[in-house]
Amino acid sequence: MRRTVLALLAAGALVSGCSTGSDQVQVNNGGEFRFVAATPVGEVIPESERAVAPEFSGTLLGGGQFSSEELAGDVAVLNFWGSWCAPCRVETPEFQEVYAGVRDEGVQFLGLNVKETDDQFALAFVDRFGIEFPSVYDPRGEVALAFRDYPANAIPSTIVLDRQGRVAAVYTGAVTQEDLRAVLDRLLVEGV
């Protein structure tokens, strides 16, 4: 009887820890996360309320180094993903379509591949979907941990930065192509 109760409690904890929503997966990065509410669809955080994004760096999938300093002056889309994430398989090809349309307008995209057991899975994912924007390989979730004030611990998550490197929008779960484009259009006309 005691074993049955313990097994049921353990199963319940496991299920509740993995079901944060119908389109996202909770990722335990070994740190304490504080949740900042997700931005409503198609909306941006008012300029006066935006916080500067943390600095980060890492190794790109396929080699090479990346520093957040490379995003300076551009609107940036940071997408936390994993090849094991079903919503990412829908969202990432849509992100590629948006990226292809805005990359020459001062918008950068950066994938952040988290909790991947082998970078070969991530490289195969990128190849399969024809993803042209770079991704940082972050198997231990160190970059996600840098964004502890934002819900980057749920996969997929997307954080959009304005040209000043401030967090302008935060999304947990999959983001549609139309919603992402609407946010980018709003940010591209700011201060112009």
125-183 pLDDT, tens digit per residue, is: 999 999 999 999 999 888 888 887 776 567 888 999 999 999 999 988 888 899 999 99
The domain ranges of the chain are: 22-188
Of the candidates 157, 119, 136, 139, which has an alpha carbon nearest to the alpha carbon of residue 67?
A: 136
Whole-structure pTM value: 0.79
The CATH number of 22-188 is 3.40.30.10
